[in-house]
Amino acid sequence: MAAEVAAGAGHDVVVFDQHRSPARKFVLAGRGGLNLTHSEPIDVFLDRYGPERPHLESAIRAFSPDDLRAWCAGLGHETFVGTSGRVFPNEFRAVPLLRSWLRRLEGLAVRFEPQHRWIGWGDDEALQFATPSQPVSVRVDRTILALGGPSWPRVGGDGSWRTLLTDRGVRVEAFQPANCGVDVEWSGVMSDRFSGVPIKNAAVIVEDQEVRGDPVVTRAGLEGGPIYAQSRRIREALTKGSVSVQIDLMPDLDIRALTARLTDRRRSGDTATKWLRRAGIPAVGASLMREATANQLPKDPFELAQLAKAVPITVTSMSAIDRAISSAGGVAWTEIGPGFELESLPGVHVVGEMLDWEAPTGGYLLQACFSTAHAVGRAAVASELSRTGD
């Protein structure tokens, strides 16, 4: 996006990427539906960035969710608003949009240099790249770093740029997994029988905050939308030790209604699992309840309802960062000046997930990447104008 803005203003732009093809994480993001942004009112939208909102607000207002949708339409790809307010391109996936975008960039004479891994600066301050053949050194007027965070390194970056910047005195906060699963020490039964099974229409409760959705059991723990949405809260609580997360298996029934239902649907000779199933709690839910009670399920309907409304699960750690949707941490805001330029390295800008912010899924991640890149493109053009006096 920064390349498009700068090239659109007549500058020579070269994009170097370590992979064979550009935007591979963008393509991966589109695999299950490219959620570009969200349609909610801008003030609600901005609140999704939590404490980092002030750092991102002016960039997002200047290149807003509406601007992003108009930009897509300008590339020939209309967008639609899904039931949850999330915005997707009509084709749903990333590849058609990316193709059109690359064609536009080609028309603007943006050059791509694949398989160029940036490894730092040379003595003469030229950018240094490792390539499959020989090392390459390039002198530039302005550098825009868009190297991403360390999640999914197979398609994106591995965050090794961190030491290249810290060696130059730039403060970079440690990376942490965001929008990711959590680890739970399941019994063999749970991981063997229920790995991959969603717990439908549940609520995940952490520190009295409830998020509804379908958490999914994995071999190592839990993942899925409501777990991702709670991942910041869980991660921060984990710094004080293991965390007890509660799962409400019946969030639409209060405890009295569930007790009445359990009482009503009990049949003599039923196993506990069958009894729970009659009351609408599926086998995966019953198994979670067994895990939480060392297989000693209460026989009293009220006690059983209490358990089903708040099944305690001990989370021991976050899943590995390389499987997270995004990362927290990155270049500290104290290092960033106007136009997302590094205070200590004039002429070097930083965009996207390299910066120290995080947000839930819902289109907030890509929107902030697009908006910061658009802001940097504009700032780079303005700085070059004042430098050259054109």
Ligand X SMILES: Cc1cc2nc3c(=O)[nH]c(=O)nc-3n(C[C@H](O)[C@H](O)[C@H](O)COP(=O)(O)OP(=O)(O)OC[C@H]3O[C@@H](n4cnc5c(N)ncnc54)[C@H](O)[C@@H]3O)c2cc1C
Applying CB under 6 A, the residues found at the interface with ligand X are 16-19, 24-26, 28-29, 34-35, 117-118, 146-148, 151-152, 156-157, 161, 325-326, 352-353, 363, 365-366, 369
CB 361 → ligand X: shortest distance, Å? 6
Q: Which residues, 6+ apart, have CB-to-CB distance to 62 below 8 Å?
A: 371, 374, 375, 378
Amino acid at 381: V
CB 13 → ligand X: shortest distance, Å? 15
CB 347 → ligand X: shortest distance, Å? 18
Whether the Cβ atoms of residue 110 and residue 14 lie closer than 8 Å to each other: yes
CA proximity to 233, closest of 201, 202, 209, 217: 209
* Cα gap 384→373, rounded to integer Å: 16
Encode 91-109: b = buried (16+ Cβ within 10 Å), e = exposed. Answer: ebbbebbbebbeebbeebe
* Cα gap 362→368, rounded to integer Å: 12
CB 351 → ligand X: shortest distance, Å? 7
CB 367 → ligand X: shortest distance, Å? 6
Cβ distance to ligand X smaller for residue 309 or 374 = 374
What distance, in Å, lies between the first and last C-alpha atoms of the chain? 23
Cβ distance to ligand X smaller for residue 178 or 245 = 178
CB 324 → ligand X: shortest distance, Å? 7
Cβ distance to ligand X smaller for residue 177 or 221 = 177
CA proximity to 13, closest of 22, 5, 23, 3: 3
Cβ distance to ligand X smaller for residue 156 or 224 = 156
CB 104 → ligand X: shortest distance, Å? 17
Cβ distance to ligand X smaller for residue 87 or 243 = 87
What are phi and psi for residue 358, nearest 5 degrees?
Answer: -150, 160
* Cα gap 310→312, rounded to integer Å: 6
What are phi and psi for residue 381, nearest 5 degrees?
Answer: -65, -45
* Cα gap 227→225, rounded to integer Å: 5
CB 97 → ligand X: shortest distance, Å? 12
CB 350 → ligand X: shortest distance, Å? 10
* Cα gap 105→373, rounded to integer Å: 15
Amino acid at 112: F
CB 199 → ligand X: shortest distance, Å? 21
Cβ distance to ligand X smaller for residue 143 or 151 = 151
Question: Collapsing DSSP states into helix, strand and coil, what is residue 168?
Answer: coil
Question: Collapsing DSSP states into helix, strand and coil, what is residue 108?
Answer: coil
Question: Collapsing DSSP states into helix, strand and coil, what is residue 318?
Answer: strand
Cβ distance to ligand X smaller for residue 146 or 203 = 146
Cβ distance to ligand X smaller for residue 25 or 235 = 25
Cβ distance to ligand X smaller for residue 84 or 271 = 84
Cβ distance to ligand X smaller for residue 35 or 79 = 35
Tokens representing residue 380 in the block: 């780079």
